[in-house]
Amino acid sequence: MTDSPDGTAGAATKTSPAVRPAGRATRIVGLDGPRGFACLCVLAVHVGGHNSPQTVIDFKLGLLGQGLIFFFALSGFLIFLPMVRRLFAGKSMPDNKTYVVHRIMRIFPAYIVILLLCSFVLRAVFTENAAVAERHFTDAGLGMLTDPLELLANLTLLHSYFPAYLQTGISPSWSLSLELAFYIALPLLAGIAFYLRKRTNISAPVLAMIPVVVLFVIGLTGKLYTASLVESSGITSPQLLDWGPNGIAVLSRSFWSLADNFTYGMLVAVVFVAIDNGVLTGVVATKMRWWAGLAMIPVAVISLKLVDDNSRWQSTFVAIGSGLLILFIIAPLARGENSRLAELADWAPLSYVGTVSLSVYLWHFPILIVVGRFGWMAGDSPLGMLWNFLVVATVSLVFATITYRLVEKPALMQARKFRSAT
């Protein structure tokens, strides 16, 4: 969880949104709380799906799982934002070595530690495909990773590229494989924009759109190609088409099919910097929040319909809505104004969950299995699901706090030291 579940913020201080002191990163107010809320939504749908499946169906709580898409849009915004700022300022591209070190240290130390603990201590990771093996209320398909190749694939976040290993290990970790692909693709595409900035007269806003458009096209073509394979595959189960041990599910979870989910947050980064730099002015800039708010209404309606139909395009429209939500929260900050909404969105409890969201995201599924073994989980009813959610959320936050303090935060400090040294 951030930027995606791995959660990094960066730009505009609480006291002066438009001020960016030279030489140090600042943070944008209003995004940690929504990230924490999205993380809890994902946790809730996983808890409900495993322990209260009928309640999830009756109340259509599967919608909560779309909180994950918010992470992708948020990653697009936060990681692309400093690149766009430098592009508009006519500066060189951010140092790639620093970028690589920070991205690696952001995800892998916490992920590897939690995966190993959940596998070899808790024995609560999937040893076979979760879509096939998982049974409600049971430990079916769960245990310890003993196959060396399966373990290696999971440790390197390459498991989502192999049908036999898809949805093994910590099952929600497929999204980190997708994030990793985005981390690799973004500087390569941004590099094109920076190259052209030095050698052409093309304006910065146009150049900043190159990575946005390319990733949008990648996601569009990936979805169309994957959809073209469904009929000939003979697979009719939506669950298996999305998550099963087959090539279509691998494509469905891949960067090729989901790259566009990052682009709407990236587009918001371009708009944010354009307003900040005075490229967008007048009523367009001053009313940007309200344009975004109005646009969210039809996008939400379309998203709900597509989610209900289990459409391949549901994530696209949820990602559009996520981008609009980000813009709705932070638009005044681009004009150097304070945003009461942004301050409210960073409500301290949710903001804290947002800070430790990567660890919460990785711990929660193994935790729900372990507390089930202890007999702490209630039945399949609304009150039962609420109890289950509170138990798993509480225990996950305790474990997440420990790994954040002992693993995530020290790793990030090392990354910052590397940046200072270079």
Counting every residue, how long is the chain?
422
Can you list the positions of beta strands (E) in 275-350? none
Quick one: average pLDDT of 2-8? 46
Per-residue pLDDT reduced to its tens digit, 42-82: 999 999 999 999 999 999 999 999 999 999 999 999 999 99
Query: What are the φ/ψ torsions at residue 175 (nearest 5 degrees)?
Result: -70, -25
**In which band, very low, low, confident or very high, does the pLDDT at 201 lie, cut at 50, 70 and 90?**
very high
**In which band, very low, low, confident or very high, does the pLDDT at 138 lie, cut at 50, 70 and 90?**
confident
88 domain-assigned: yes
Residue 7 has pLDDT above 50, yes or no: no
Q: How far apart are CA 416 and CA 411, in angstroms?
A: 9
207 domain-assigned: no
Per-residue pLDDT reduced to its tens digit, 303-352: 999 999 989 999 999 999 999 999 999 999 999 998 899 999 999 999 99
162 domain-assigned: no
Per-residue pLDDT reduced to its tens digit, 152-192: 999 999 999 999 999 999 999 999 999 999 999 999 999 99
328 domain-assigned: yes
Quick one: average pLDDT of 203-230? 97
Quick one: average pLDDT of 355-361? 98
Distances (CA, A) of 416 to 5, 409, 413, 422: 20, 11, 5, 10
93 domain-assigned: yes
Distances (CA, A) of 201 to 92, 194, 197, 205: 16, 12, 7, 12
- Between helix 357-373 and helix 382-403 the angle, nearest 10°, is 120
Quick one: average pLDDT of 205-227? 97
The angle subtended at Cα 265 by Cα 259 and Cα 271, nearest 5°, is 130
Closest CA to 32 of 357, 410, 262: 357
283 domain-assigned: yes
Percent of the chain with pLDDT over 90: 89
Q: Which two tokens stand for residue 133?
A: 């093996």
332 domain-assigned: yes
Closest CA to 7 of 50, 39, 29, 40: 39
Note down the domain range covering 388: 4-142+260-421
Whole-angstrom Cα Rg for the chain: 21
Write the CB contacts of 61 (distance below 8 Å, at least 6 apart in sequence).
44, 45, 48, 55, 385
Closest CA to 271 of 285, 257, 291: 285
222 domain-assigned: no
Q: What is the pTM of this model?
A: 0.92
Write the CB contacts of 122 (distance below 8 Å, at least 6 apart in sequence).
366, 369, 370
Alpha-helical runs (H) found in 89-156: 96-120, 130-133, 148-155
Q: How far apart are CA 316 and CA 296, in angstroms?
A: 13
- DSSP run (H or E) holding 83: helix 67-88
The answer to whether 232 touches 247, Cβ cutoff 8 Å, is no
Residue that is written with structure tokens 């060396």 in the block: 148
Residue 260 has pLDDT above 90, yes or no: yes
pLDDT of residue 419: 74
pLDDT of residue 64: 93
Please count the structural domains in the chain: 1
